[in-house]
Every structure is written in structure tokens, then in C-alpha cells.
Structure 1
């Protein structure tokens, strides 16, 4: 891994918090992700399942975590099953976790090789009544591929059909949405790497540069700062491309007078950051571009102030919509009649700002969090209003990542990343 070792106390605390929510005499199982094939002998880069990482810090394939807090045998209350390493694997694939290294990473003392898994699971299943399976219930999930977790769950339920079944996901949705101070430090690191990438761009962007060249500059800066790269597929959208919300081709030339919408951010230690900035190709905004930009920035500042403990996500978006409506009227994009005649299910402002303002962020860019429950301290949210005007050939979005505080306004993890018009223009022309 490129990232520095993480304090194993994070994973010890995470397991303690999870097992405290389990039913009596129950067992929970978590699997690593597969390494997915492309074709022939090619594979996609490995990405660890965030749940097993959250609970153990283990960041390699073919790993299984078992939690059984009421197990009669104390050493079986926390178990890691790992792919057995040897000299041959070390030569061909690099070193895998040894039992000693697994303990240093996770704080789990009982580590077995995978070949012993079925025998030990038989013993454990004779001692528990309920098994917690790990299903993906994220509100944006749309998974067509059968995962390693799916296959393991199918095997477990078929082999032990008399056990009660419970779900890990509702527990994890609540736990993962509230960040530990160590997690916030890791997210701050990701944001700091993103800042370095963005500042690099301000000295690089000029007329006739290509969007993919900008992507390359960012990847260079991210990698040299211990990130494995982008936290999500980067959006580098010049001109009217910015009006395609998930434009990812990044293959057009940036022209004089155009704006570039940059939705680009680094990961660090599997934790995401999520940044959007919009900058002028020529280093200076036109008056109209500046007016729209400042309107978006005002909405972002006002929306940020509302991210407080107890706020309901749905109510928050209604209030942001009112602020955006006022700004759009000021820009001449909406008038009184548009607002008076609007469809309550699709308000007038949605013509120019059609997506949500905020989402949870953490180990996943769209992280775990139950949107029907009040916001809590140490939740981390994006704030990302935008105004998109295809008829004028540009779109503007601005986005930061903020931590909800017990008292006072949220803490902006991206407070040092330039955002004001004057600062961006000065840096691009220095």
C-alpha cells in the first residue's frame, strides 16, 4: 500500500462499536472483494470492500473477518482468515500479510489460513444462533455482479439453514456515517493531497490544453503524495461539457474564454475527498461568468451554515432550493411567474440545478448514512451547488467537504483550497 500505517486502535474501536449492536449469541462475517477479470489474464486493480477494511484495516484479497462476541472460546471472538503466504507468492505477487503483520494492522490476535476456514466455521456455527450477513443496501447501489460476499452468504445459508439471519448493513450505515477522529485525519490528508493537485493546475491550465492533460497533471501529483489516484472517475469538463453532470470522457481541447468544471479529488488510505472547482481557461472570468460563479459560491456558503446537528437531509435541501431560487432570479434565469407556476415535485430552480446539494463522504465517495435520520456531529458531508446554463455554453459547480461540529458551523476540510474569484485569477496569472 502507498499509504502510511494506520493506528490499529481505529479498527479495534470500530469492532467494539459494531459488536455492541449485535444480538446475543450471534456471529457476523465480512469478506474481501474479488479481483475482477478484464480478459485473458488481465485484471482490474484490487479495491478492498470498505466494510472489512473499516472493521480490520486488512487491505488484501481473499480475506474473511468473523466477529462472535459471545463465543465460549475467547480466542474465537475475533478471527481473521487470510490467504496463506509463501516464498513463491512473495516473488510473483509481493508479500501478503503474515499472521504477525495482520495483528499489527488490525489488533486481531487469532489469525488462520483460509484452508482452515470451513472446519473452524463449523465449530463456531454450532455455538451461535444468529448469523449477520453483509448486504449492500446503500441508497445508490445498483450491483449486477455477484460478489465474493454474495457467494459466501449463499454458501453459509445453504450449509446452515437452521440459523436465524440478521443484517450487518443497518448497523454499519449508522456507525460508518459518524467519523472517528483518526478517520477525519485520514480524510484531511486526502483533501490536502487534492489541494496540491488543484494548485498545480492553476499554473498549468491555459488555452488549447486538453482535458486529459489536466487529468494527467492531477494523477502525477496524487501519486507522488501517497495516494493511489482519484477517489472517483474524474470529471474535467470544459465549455458545454460542464452541462453533462457525469461527463468523464475528458478528451476535448479547452478553448479561450471557456470555463472548466473540475470535479476531481484524491483518495488516501481508501478514504475519499470530493472537490469541485470551476476555473477560466484564459485565467480570467467574464463578467457574466463571474456573476454566476459568485451566485453559486453564495449558495454554497449559506448551505454550509445549515449543516448542523439535528438537521434533516430532506428539509435542508428544501431550504437550499429557496436560496438557489433567489440567486437564479437575480441572474435573470428565473422570474416571478416561473416560481409561482412551478411544480412542487420539480421546483423551477431544478431547470438550472438538478442534483442534490450534499451527500455523506468517507470510505466511499457517496458514503454510508441513513438520510431519514438527523445529522450528527462528526458526520462529513459534501456541499456542492451548481448552476448549469447550456444556452450560454457553461456550467459552474463548487464543492467542499465539511465536518459537522457539536457546536458552531461545520469545519471545512478544504478551507485552504482556493475558491474566491480573485484568488483563482491571481494564482492563474502569477
Structure 2
């Protein structure tokens, strides 16, 4: 790992919260992520399962966490299983956790090698009534390949068909959305690295620079500051590319007179930042570009004020839509008469602002959370309105990351340049 060590108290606290919500006489099993083949003899860079990391702080493949708070054998109430290293692995793959290192990272005392898992599990599982299995229930994505937890479930159902199987995801969805002080600190670090990369790019950008050169500058700054890398595939969309919401080709030349839409963020210690900015290639907005930019900025600031405890996502989005509609009328993109006659189920603003305004942020960029539960203290959400005008080859999106506290909210990206004048000042 590139990032600095994390105090294991946060992971110990997370495990206590999790087991406190289990049914009596329950055992829960969490797996590290699979390693995915990239080619004949290579795997993709390993990315840890966010739930497993949340509970252990262990950033290594082929690892298992077993939690059985009512276990009659106190040795197995909380157990971590690790892949046992050897000289061959050390030579070809490098260092792996020792048992003592894993104790320090996780706060778990009882640690065994992975080849002990089946024997230990069988010795205690028949004293449990419920078996909690972790499955990916993020409703933004569905796996089409049976992953490690699903394969384990199929195996356990065959061996232990009369146990009652439960979903850990129902518990994790409530826990992960409320961030601890340590998680907030790690997210702030990701935001700080993202800020530095953006300022670096502002000083680098000029007509003739390619989108991939900008991507290289970002990645350089991320890695230089101990980030794992990009939180997601960065969007460097110049000119008409900016009207493609998930444009990631990043292979065009940035032309004089165009605006570049940036959507990128650093990943630090598995926690993510998610920022969008739109800047003029030549360092000066045209009047039209500035007008659209300022309209989006006003919407973002109005929406940010609504990101507080108790806000309901659907009502929030409807209100942002009404604010955006007014801005689009002011820009001459919508006609007030047409808006007055619109079908409320098909609001006209969606022609120019077709995506949601906010999503939860954390160990996943689109973090695991309920879209129906009101916002709570400890949530971190994005705020990212945009206006996309295909006929003008112009796309503007502005995005910051907002933490909800008991006293309102805190913009974790408040120190990242966002005013049009400030951006021009840095670029010139």
C-alpha cells in the first residue's frame, strides 16, 4: 500500500457495530475480493472488497473474516484468515502480511493461515443458527460473474442446508453510509490531493495540449502524494466531448476557444474524492461560456444548502430541477410558456441536465447507501449539477463533496478553485 498506516481502532469499532446488529447465535463471513485475470499470465491490479476493508483494514487478496460473537470457543469469536506466504511468493509477488502485521492493521488478535479455514469453520458452524453472507447489493450495479462470496454461499448451502442464511448487506448499508472521524479524515486527504492535481492542471493547460497529457499530470500528482491512483476512470472532455457524460477516451487535442470538463478524483486508503470542474482551454471564458458556468455554479450552491440531515433524495432532486429550470430559461435554452405546459413526469430541464445531482461517497465512489432513506449526520454526498448543450458543443459540470454534520454541512472541497475569475487568475 502507498498510503500511511491507519489506526486500527476504526476497524475494531466497525466490527463491534456490525456484530451488535446480528441475530443471536449468528456467524458472519466476509471475503476479500477475487483476483481478476487480465491476460494469459497477468491479473488486474487488486482492489479490495470495500465491506471487507471496512471491517478489517486488510488490503490483501485471499483473506477471510469470520465473526461469531456467541461462539462457545472464545478463540473463534473474531478470526482473520490470511494467505500464508513463502519464499517463492516473496520472490515473485513481494511482501505479504505477517500475522503480527495483520494484528496491528486490523486489531484482530486471532489470526490463522487460510488453509485452516475449513477445519475451524466446521468445528464451530454447527453451534450457529444463522449464517450471514456478504453480497453486493449496491443497486447501481449487478455482478454477472459469481464472485467469491456467492461461491462460498453455494458451497455452504450444500454442506449445511438447514442453517438460516442472512444478508450482511442490510446491516452494511446502514453502517457504511455514516462516516466516522477517521473516514472523514481519509476522505479529506483524498480531496486535498485532488485539489493539488487540479491546480497543477490549471497551470499546465493551454491550446494544443491533449486530453491524455492532462490525465498524465493528474495521475502523476496522485501517485506523488501516496494516493492509490484515480478513484475512477478520469473524464478529460474538451469541446463537444463534454456532452458525453461518461467520456473516458481522453485522446483529443484541446482547442483554443473550447471548454474542458474535468471529472476526476484521487483514491487514498480506499476512500474516494469525486470532483468536477469546467475550464477554458485558453484561460479565458467567453461571455456565453461564463454565463452557462455561473448558472451551474448558482444551482450547485443552492443545492448544497439542501444537503442536510432529513433531506429526502427524490424531493431534493425535484427542487434542484425547479432551480435549474429557472436558469435554463434565463440562458434562453427553455421557454417559460413551454415549461408551464410541460408534463411533470417529463420535465423539460432534463434535456440539458439529465443526471442526478448527488450520490453518496465513501469506499465506493457511488457508495453503498439507500436511495430512499433521508440524509443523516455523517453522510458524505457529491453535489454535481451540469448543463450540456449539444448544439453549442458545450458541457459544464461543477462538483464538490459535502459532509453533513449536526450543525449543517461542510464542503470538503471549499478550498478548490471554483469561481470563474479565480480559475482564470490561476491559468493566467
TM-score (norm. length: structure 2): 0.99
2-side partners of 1:371 and 1:144: how far apart?
Answer: 23
1-side partners of 2:415 and 2:158: how far apart?
Answer: 53
Kindly state the Cα deviation for residue 390 of structure 1 after the two structures are TM-superposed.
0.7
In structure 1, the residue matched to 2:238 is: 238
Alignment of 1:311-350 (within 5 A): 311-350=311-350
In structure 1, the residue matched to 2:413 is: 414
Alignment of 1:184-203 (within 5 A): 184-203=184-203
Q: Deviations 1:235-281 (Å, cap 9, x if unpaired)?
A: 00000100000000000110000000000111000101000000000
Contact 2:260 2:279 in 1 (8 A): yes
Q: Deviations 1:374-424 (Å, cap 9, x if unpaired)?
A: 11001000000000001011100000001011122x101111110000000
Kindly state the Cα deviation for residue 91 of structure 1 after the two structures are TM-superposed.
1.8
More off after superposition, 339-348 vs 177-186: 339-348
1-side partners of 2:146 and 2:126: how far apart?
Answer: 28
2-side partners of 1:102 and 1:301: how far apart?
Answer: 44
1-side partners of 2:166 and 2:146: how far apart?
Answer: 20
1-side partners of 2:320 and 2:419: how far apart?
Answer: 20
In structure 2, the residue matched to 1:280 is: 280
Contact 2:136 2:142 in 1 (8 A): no
In structure 1, the gaps of 5 or more residues are: none
Kindly state the Cα deviation for residue 346 of structure 1 after the two structures are TM-superposed.
2.1
Kindly state the Cα deviation for residue 369 of structure 1 after the two structures are TM-superposed.
1.0
In structure 2, the residue matched to 1:94 is: 94
2-side partners of 1:75 and 1:184: how far apart?
Answer: 33
In structure 2, the residue matched to 1:182 is: 182
Q: Deviations 1:300-358 (Å, cap 9, x if unpaired)?
A: 00000001111111111011111101111111111112212222222111010000000
Kindly state the Cα deviation for residue 288 of structure 1 after the two structures are TM-superposed.
0.4
Alignment of 1:22-421 (within 5 A): 22-408=22-408, 410-421=409-420
SS at match of 2:81: strand
Q: Deviations 1:88-136 (Å, cap 9, x if unpaired)?
A: 2222211111111111000001111111111111012111000001111
1-side partners of 2:359 and 2:297: how far apart?
Answer: 18
1-side partners of 2:78 and 2:71: how far apart?
Answer: 9
In structure 2, the residue matched to 1:2 is: 2
1-side partners of 2:341 and 2:17: how far apart?
Answer: 50
**TM-align CA RMSD:** 0.8
2-side partners of 1:225 and 1:52: how far apart?
Answer: 25
Moved over 3 A (4+): none
Kindly state the Cα deviation for residue 372 of structure 1 after the two structures are TM-superposed.
0.9
Give the paired residue count.
428
SS at match of 1:102: helix
SS at match of 1:207: coil
1-side partners of 2:260 and 2:353: how far apart?
Answer: 17
Kindly state the Cα deviation for residue 75 of structure 1 after the two structures are TM-superposed.
1.9
SS at match of 2:103: helix
Kindly state the Cα deviation for residue 142 of structure 1 after the two structures are TM-superposed.
2.3
1-side partners of 2:346 and 2:267: how far apart?
Answer: 34
2-side partners of 1:341 and 1:245: how far apart?
Answer: 28
Kindly state the Cα deviation for residue 73 of structure 1 after the two structures are TM-superposed.
1.4
1-side partners of 2:124 and 2:259: how far apart?
Answer: 60
SS at match of 1:267: strand
Kindly state the Cα deviation for residue 11 of structure 1 after the two structures are TM-superposed.
0.1
2-side partners of 1:328 and 1:249: how far apart?
Answer: 29
Kindly state the Cα deviation for residue 87 of structure 1 after the two structures are TM-superposed.
2.5
Q: Deviations 1:4-38 (Å, cap 9, x if unpaired)?
A: 00010000000000001100000110001111002
Contact 2:211 2:237 in 1 (8 A): yes
SS at match of 1:203: helix
2-side partners of 1:272 and 1:42: how far apart?
Answer: 26
Contact 2:35 2:43 in 1 (8 A): yes
